[in-house]
């Protein structure tokens, strides 16, 4: 089975690209946003609940969304594979999806992430809001809230799939056709987890390096001894060299000071005695 998570912020082009990908690869498109909107239109209890979150740009609670998604998957038992558009949006949803797919003896093949700058997203959604009829496209504050929620709550899902070696970012700016081609190239190459396997096999290399390093143990020991001896010698010479420097710099300064003091006191004594002698001489006169 080919199971693709089509990831990206609001307005990245998930729906646009999903429509093309399902045709080419014969997959079933599961867009949680579309399912919620269908329920809102039908006035179902699920729709009413979802509407209270969607209109504010917030995520519908995990338990509700996960149950709904699993039910939709189960409705397509003969599917060749799925494109999950707008799901998972939290780590909890990602874990639940993994567990669910495991029960069906399958797994996520790849996460394709459409990378689009925020300014472009805002432009696209405001433009679509003019005729989409989607309440969450009408208010720039709600659009911003959706982007903020994506950054805070949904971005960690990228790390979840990166850790599995399944994340692949694709530039989501350009013509719809060019982006579609780029996505197809990635899909046709296969999941990046195959590169994860390659890098895992590369990890064997250090073991071979270890062997080389551990083989000449004696020489290594001798070398360390020699190095230690050399270091010891260089330390002592360093100390020896250091001592005279200290002495020569420290003592002359001290001597200078003391000699200066001594000469000062000597001249003072001389002056005093000569004064005394003079005064004595005067007195004597």
Q: For residues 234-263, which are near ligand AP5 according to CB under 6 A?
A: none
Nearest residue (CB) to ligand AP5, 122 versus 196? 122
Nearest residue (CB) to ligand AP5, 32 versus 109? 32
Alpha-carbon span 203 to 11, nearest angstrom: 40
> What contacts 64, CB < 8 A, 6 or more positions away?
46, 49, 50
- Cis peptide bond upstream of 281, omega within 30: no
271 class by beta-carbon count within 10 Å (0-12 exposed, 13-18 middle, 19+ buried): exposed
Tell the smallest beta-carbon distance from residue 102 to ligand AP5 (Å).
19
Query: How many other C-beta atoms can be found within 10 angstroms of the C-beta atom of residue 27?
Result: 21
- Structure-block tokens of residue 207: 């073991």
Nearest residue (CB) to Mg ion, 153 versus 196? 153
Q: Cα Rg for the chain, rounded, in angstroms?
A: 40
Tell the smallest beta-carbon distance from residue 65 to ligand AP5 (Å).
4
Degrees, nearest 5: CA angle 62-65-69? 135
Residues serving a catalytic function are 14, 89, 128, 134, 146
Nearest residue (CB) to ligand AP5, 42 versus 284? 42
Residue 16 near ligand AP5 by CB under 6 A = yes
Span interacting with Mg ion, options 11-19, 145-153, 208-216, 254-262, rule CB under 5 A: 11-19
Alpha-carbon span 11 to 118, nearest angstrom: 9
Residue 15 near ligand AP5 by CB under 6 A = yes
Question: Considering CB under 5 A, how many residues would be counted as binding Mg ion?
Answer: 2
Residue 15 near Mg ion by CB under 5 A = yes
Choose, by CB under 6 A, the member of 51, 124, 166, 168 that binds ligand AP5. Answer: 124
Task: Select the binding partner of residue 10 from Mg ion, ligand AP5, none (C-beta < 5 to 8 A, by kind).
Answer: ligand AP5
Cα dihedral: 248, 252, 253, 259 (round 10): 170
Residue 59 near ligand AP5 by CB under 6 A = yes
Alpha-carbon span 49 to 26, nearest angstrom: 32
Choose, by CB under 6 A, the member of 2, 83, 89, 157 that binds ligand AP5. Answer: 89
Span interacting with Mg ion, options 13-21, 162-170, 218-226, 257-265, rule CB under 5 A: 13-21
Nearest residue (CB) to ligand AP5, 103 versus 175? 175
Decide: 65 and 46 in contact? Cβ < 8 Å: no
- Nearest CA-CA partner of 125 in 144, 150, 151: 144
Span interacting with ligand AP5, options 83-91, 193-201, 241-249, 255-263, rule CB under 6 A: 83-91
DSSP for 146-193, written as a single string: HHHHIIIIITHHHHHHHTTT-EEEEE--S-HHHHHHHHHHHHHH--TH
Task: Select the binding partner of residue 51 from ligand AP5, Mg ion, none (C-beta < 5 to 8 A, by kind).
Answer: none
Task: Select the binding partner of residue 128 from ligand AP5, Mg ion, none (C-beta < 5 to 8 A, by kind).
Answer: ligand AP5
Residues engaged in binding ligand AP5 (CB under 6 A): 8, 10-16, 32-33, 36, 53-54, 57-60, 65, 86-87, 89, 93, 124, 128, 136, 146, 176, 179
């Amino acid at each position: 089975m080919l199971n693709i998570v089509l990831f990206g912020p609001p307005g990245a082009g998930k729906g646009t690209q999903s429509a093309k990908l399902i045709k080419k690869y014969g997959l079933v498109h599961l867009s949680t946003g579309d399912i919620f909107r269908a329920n809102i239109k039908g006035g179902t209890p699920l729709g009413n609940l979802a509407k209270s979150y969607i209109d504010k740009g917030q995520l519908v609670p995990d338990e509700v969304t996960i149950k709904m998604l699993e039910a939709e998957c189960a409705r397509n038992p003969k599917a060749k594979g799925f494109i999950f558009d707008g799901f998972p949006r939290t780590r909890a949803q990602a874990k639940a999806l993994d567990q669910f797919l495991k029960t069906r003896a399958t797994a996520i093949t790849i996460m394709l992430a459409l990378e689009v700058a925020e300014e472009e997203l805002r432009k696209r959604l405001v433009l679509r809001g003019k005729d989409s009829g989607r309440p969450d496209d009408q208010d720039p504050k709600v659009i911003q809230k959706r982007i903020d929620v994506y950054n805070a709550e949904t971005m960690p899902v990228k790390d979840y799939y990166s850790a599995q070696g399944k994340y692949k970012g694709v530039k989501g700016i350009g013509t719809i056709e060019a982006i579609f081609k780029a996505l197809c190239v990635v899909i046709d190459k296969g999941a990046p987890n195959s590169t994860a396997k390659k890098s895992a096999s590369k990890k064997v290399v250090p073991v071979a390096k270890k062997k080389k390093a551990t083989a000449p143990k004696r020489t290594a020991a001798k070398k360390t001894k020699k190095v230690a001896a050399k270091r010891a010698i260089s330390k002592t010479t360093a100390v020896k060299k250091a001592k005279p420097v200290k002495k020569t710099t420290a003592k002359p300064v001290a001597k200078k000071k003391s000699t200066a003091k001594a000469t000062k006191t000597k001249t003072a004594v001389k002056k005093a005695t000569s004064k005394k002698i003079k005064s004595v001489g005067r007195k004597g006169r």
